Amino acid sequence: MSLSQITRKFVLICFFVLLWYIISSFYFEQEELLSDKNEETLTGVHLTSNTNKTIITDDDNNKNQLEELNKKYCGKPICKFLFVYLIGEQETKANLHFRSFSQLAEKLNRIMVLPNVGSSRIGTCNEFPFDFYYNITLLQKEFPNVLFKSENDFIFWLKERDQIKKMMNNNNNKNIPPLSILHSSIKRSRNTEKTFYDDAETNFDVYNCISKFKPLMNLEDPTNSRVKYTKMIIRTTDMRSEIARVKLSELLTKVLTIDEEILLVNGKVVDPLFPQTMPVIPYSDYILNEAQKIKDKLSSSYMGIHWRLESSTPKLLPECVQGLIKTLNKIKEEEGIKNIYLATDYPLLSSRSQSSTFKKITNYHHDAIRTLNETFKINTWVSLGGLEQLRENKKYNKELNGSGIQGILDKLVCVNSNYFISGPKGCSRIASSFTKTIADERSNRIENKDSDLLNVIDRWEIP
């Protein structure tokens, strides 16, 4: 065999060996890539990636829905409320106490829920919204750092939160817990040796009107609301001076700085809680306009009288009315004022008094008012057509036949009177917050020299 033939054969053999090697290597790599082990690994990574993606998306959506609700309603991802659902005392003092709790809301950085009003009270049991008595826009200006929401707004938040919670729970993602609530009673007491704050029994202060928020807020259902109960009993002397109230307000702010979403308070405190006393909550434009109409009808000048007959001694009333007549005649002669406006708890629209606590009306009371009417033309909010639109609607009958919106109207008319008088001891109540509020406002106006008021307050004498 020649050399050329041998060389050709060797080249062919090398070629086929190389070809076999290439084909074998390719087959082996494909088999390895398609093996069960690698297929499981790739599939596992793929499934894990999808599972994680699904969970994150659902949680974020649910979480974002709740946060978006809170941001829309509260301006923050978490809502915290102060809801003082009961404020003791009638409107004049309740007005003062509401201001104290608004100061507390500011210190605690909580939204202040505006309770309903009616029958000269502030509290959730009443029939009318807060703005029936008060101007919320001006209230907000007095407390620029406090966000105020109505009861209806609060119910809206509860309802929306409940819907989000149900949706999440239906998806087996129980990520929204029950409402967290601290239910506290804050009361002043003459019988305690010191102010204290402590846990309370679950039924410490049954107040049935809270039930109107069920089923959205149910204090008896642990799946709906996780409730803790506390009480603060305040020693009377800890509220009487500005220095004492500094310490009290610091204690109150400290113990009520909590994480719970809702701070429910039953408040009967009588005196201010903070050293600074804020101005009177501004009244609604409707009541202010009614007061102006009455002032216009009384012409250029008038005398205002506040006579709370409930606090009088009935047998003294014949002498009381004679003393009032004598004083009115003297003012007419000296000041030239002829018109007279009477603010009173005596019955004006029905046989019932204008005060829910004034029940024993005697002939002495009837005779005193009759004598006054026979001597002068006496004007009242009824005779001058005050609150006429409300009087045409039966919805307001109970309000107008008791102590309610007309008490605020009386207060405003007396504040604007050129001359203001009230009764002496035995004829009227001396320590009246209603009378004091009128006198304080008149004093401020006279000090500022922005009115034509002739006095702050005078009391007539018994002859």
In tens, the pLDDT along 312-366 reads 999 999 999 999 999 999 999 999 999 999 999 898 988 777 776 777 888 999 9
> What pLDDT, on the 0 to 100 scale, is given for residue 62?
54
| Residues in a beta bridge with 340 | 303, 378
Average of pLDDT values for 154-181?
A: 84
What DSSP designation does 239 have? G
Q: Which amino acid is at 150?
A: S
Confidence check: pLDDT of 460 > 70: yes
Q: pLDDT category, 167, cuts 50, 70, 90?
A: confident
Average of pLDDT values for 199-221?
A: 85
Average of pLDDT values for 194-205?
A: 86
With vertex at residue 181, the alpha carbon angle to CA 175 and CA 183, rounded to the nearest 5 degrees, is 170
Task: Report how far apart, in Å, the C-alpha atoms of 309 and of each of 105, 285, 405, 449 are.
Answer: 38, 30, 19, 33
Give the pTM. 0.83
167 or 368: which leads in pLDDT: 368
Distance CA 461, CA 323 (A): 5
Asked if domains 81-268 and 285-459 share a fold, the reply is: yes
Domain ranges of the chain: 81-268, 285-459
> What pLDDT, on the 0 to 100 scale, is given for residue 40?
30
In tens, the pLDDT along 6-33 reads 455 555 555 555 555 544 544 444 443 3
Query: Cβ–Cβ contacts within 10 Å for residue 309, how many?
Result: 26
> What pLDDT, on the 0 to 100 scale, is given for residue 88?
83
SS (H, E, C) the chain: CCHHHHHHHHHHHHHHHHHHHHHHHHHHHHHHHCCHHHHHHHHHHHHHHHHHHHHHHHHHHHHHHHHHHHHHHHCCCCCCEEEEEEECCCHHHHHHHHHHHHHHHHHHCCEEEECCEECCEEECCCCECHHHCECHHHHHHHCCCCCEEEHHHHHHHHHHHHHHHHHHHHCCCCCCCCEEEEEEEEEEECCCCCCEEEECCCCCCCCHHHHHHCCCCCCCCCCCEEEEEEEEEEEHHHHCCHHHHHHHHHHHHHHCCCCCCEEEEEEECCCCCCCCCCCCCCECHHHHHHHHHHHHHCCCCEEEEEECHHHCCHHHHHHHHHHHHHHHHHHHHHHCCCEEEEEECCCCCCCCCCCCCCCCCCHHHHHHHHHHHHHCCEECCCCCCCCHHHHCCHHHHHHHCCCCHHHHHHHHHHHHCCEEEECCECCECCCCHHHHHHHHHHHHHHHHCCCCCCCCCEECCCC
> What pLDDT, on the 0 to 100 scale, is given for residue 19?
53
**Domain 285-459 has what CATH class?**
alpha beta
Q: Which SS3 state, helix, strand or coil, does residue 346 take?
A: coil
Confidence check: pLDDT of 403 > 80: yes
Distance CA 168, CA 161 (A): 11
Nearest CA to 194 out of 236, 230, 246, 229 is that of 236
> What pLDDT, on the 0 to 100 scale, is given for residue 80?
97
Share the mean pLDDT of the chain: 86
Q: Which amino acid is at 435?
A: T
Task: Tell me whether residue 222 is exposed, middle or buried, using C-beta atoms within 10 angstroms of its C-beta: 0 to 12, 13 to 18, 19 or more.
Answer: exposed
Two structure tokens written together for 453: 């008021």
Topology of the domain covering 81-268: Rossmann fold (3.40.50)
In tens, the pLDDT along 75-131 reads 999 999 999 999 988 999 999 999 999 999 999 999 999 999 999 999 999 999 999
